[in-house]
Amino acid sequence: MKIFTALSDVNYDEMHLLTFKSLEMLIKRYSGNPILQKDDVPYPVATVHNAGMIKHENKYIMIFRSHKFNGRSILGKAVSYDGFNFVVDKHPFMIQSKEQPFKKYEAYGIEDPRIVKIDGEYLITYSAYSQYGVRIGLAKTKDFDHIQRVALITEADYRNVVIFPEKFNNLYARLDRPHSEISPWSIWISYSPDLIHWGQSQLIMRPMQYHWDEMKIGPGASPIKTSRGWLNIYHGVFPTMDGCVYRLGVALHKLEDPSVVIAVGDEWILQPEEEYEITGYVHNVVFTCGAIPEPDGTLKLYWGGADKVMCVGTAVIDELVDHCLSNLRQAL
């Protein structure tokens, strides 16, 4: 196991470093943000945020979280042909299950989906809340019209489970974040032969004291494969006298062994700056559950603004990788 990386571990001769761009240029906000809000939903909701994203049959599929007016969350679906303009389905995509064992553990709502395609199916992980804490549920679909719950794949308390889109030595791999002060709110990796039974767990990435992510971190979008490693867009939380601030950063994992973190960008790539990110259901939040790589090497990054609206921005994937390598955080 290798937790983080030291500067001495990096071969600078192999880096493809560009002139460092200002952080404000790494993620370009779409001028039409927010792209989805509660008034766009044809059924009663208080918020639209934290959406998993995928491309299916040349359409952008957004599975978003919404608070109902009792405070509990459900999942909705919206579809777009350009990744910016979305139309919401007339009915929710997923609500709390009425069948056991899911009913017991989803009683307080389902939240924050992530989506990945593997073995010809789309896998959706989501947070299931109940009086017993938060667990991760796994569902699958082939067409986003029919959905099948597979299993509850963690104990309490776990959040932010993202599955890699490839197997490693015939094993599925996932990143997650146990809700724990013991190794405080850190990112772990686990493996599974069947998506149900998970093990070989390792702690691979921790918050750094008095950095922008010093309180807790968690994986965001499903990892993106690049020629130089798996790009992990993660969120980090910093406590202030006026509450917590949620920002986004990037890390790079080794292609053949994602438990090895090659590098972590020392500075954030996105922070709350616009009014719709600063003020909302939860102030000062940018939080991603999905990103879509495009054939031209760009990326559409989607995030919830202040736990109230959905936003999108674009980036160049190679520039995010360069940010990890040229703006490298030192080892803990």
Task: Summarize pLDDT for 277-301 with one digit per residue, the tens.
Answer: 999 999 999 999 999 999 999 999 9
Please give the Cα distance from 65 to 47 (Å, whole number): 8
* 56 in Cβ contact with 122 (< 8 Å): yes
Q: Is 325 helix (H, G, I), strand (E, B) or coil?
A: helix
> 230 φ, ψ to 5°?
-85, 120
> What confidence category does residue 24 fall into, taking pLDDT thresholds of 50, 70 and 90?
low
| The pair of three-digit structure tokens given for residue 298, joined into one six-digit string | 């760009």
Task: Summarize pLDDT for 133-164 with one digit per residue, the tens.
Answer: 999 999 999 999 999 999 999 999 999 999 99
| The pair of three-digit structure tokens given for residue 82, joined into one six-digit string | 């350009």
| The pair of three-digit structure tokens given for residue 167, joined into one six-digit string | 């197997």
Determine how many CB atoms are found less than 10 A away from the CB of residue 299. Answer: 22
